[in-house]
Structure 1
Amino acid sequence: MSDFDQMGIVVDWVDACRKGDLTTLLDLYADDAQLECMCNGMHRYCGRSELEAYWQPRLSAFASVGFGLEEIHPAPHGVELEYSVAGALHIHASFRFSPEGKIRSTLCEPARQSAHAGCAC
């Protein structure tokens, strides 16, 4: 059992996304964190600079169209989250953590989508 609040870290992640706060978002990740995005093919991003390049344009989009928390719950090895963009596009994200309480990895993929939705995660 970890001695840090994994759910709290993901809530902080959601808050940073809603505010478009790139610095706070990146500070939640471990220095060697990985993000795998399976929304439009599979793409992997490693380390702070690649995460910054991934998140910067997305946070701008979230701020203009809206970012919503749909569902959050603990999972056996981390936290599972579903969020929405523009109220319709649903993304599922899985978070795993380092022993120091930083996000070690994130995997995102489309969740329940309408036939007309794309992916902006």
Structure 2
Amino acid sequence: MSDFDQMGLVIDWVDACRKGDLAMLLDLYADDAKLECTCNGTQIYRGRGELETYWGPKLSAFSSAGFGLEEIHPAQSGIDLEYSVAGALRIRASFRFSAEGKIHSTLCEPAQQGSHDCCAC
């Protein structure tokens, strides 16, 4: 376990999402970070450029629809988070970190929410 505040880093991630601040969000990720989204089939994004392509439109949707923190807790090798968009759509994200204190990987997937599609994560 690294000596940086993993929970604090994820809270910064939440703050960046709430503010719609793409630059702040991208600065939280390692240069070689990977994001795997399984909400609408599996899609993988690697590096800052691909993360920017992924997050740019999503942050706009978050700021207009509303982004809510539902649950956050330590996991065996990182932090697990559940958030909501527009107060209803729930998404689970698991964060793993680099030794330098950056987000190294994120896995997002639909949380249990009935028949809603997960199209906002």
Task: Name the TM-score class by shorter chain.
Answer: over 0.9
> Would you say how many aligned residue pairs link Structure 1 and Structure 2?
121
Structure 2: gaps (5+ residues): none
**What is the correspondence of 1:40-51 to structure 2 with a 5 Å cutoff?**
40-51=40-51
Q: Deviations over 1:30-82 (max 9, x none)?
A: 00000000000000000000000000000000010000000000011000000
**What is the correspondence of 1:54-65 to structure 2 with a 5 Å cutoff?**
54-65=54-65
Structure 1: gaps (5+ residues): none
Residue aligning to 1:78: 78
In 1: Cα distance, 2:117 partner to 2:87 partner:
11
In 2: Cα distance, 1:113 partner to 1:119 partner:
13
Residue aligning to 2:92: 92
Question: CA 1:117–1:40 in 2, change beyond 3 Å: closer, same or farther?
Answer: closer
Determine helix, strand or coil for the equivalent of 1:74. Answer: strand
Moved over 6 A (4+): none
In 2: Cα distance, 1:14 partner to 1:116 partner:
22
Task: Give the residue type in structure 2 aligned to 1:108.
Answer: C
Residue aligning to 1:101: 101
**What is the correspondence of 1:14-53 to structure 2 with a 5 Å cutoff?**
14-53=14-53
How many percent identity over aligned positions? 76
| Larger displacement relative to structure 2 (108-117 or 69-78) | 108-117
**Contact (CA 8 Å) 1:88, 1:117: kept in 2 or not?**
no
In 1: Cα distance, 2:2 partner to 2:77 partner:
10
Deviation at 1:9, TM superposition (A): 0.2
TM-score (norm 1): 0.97
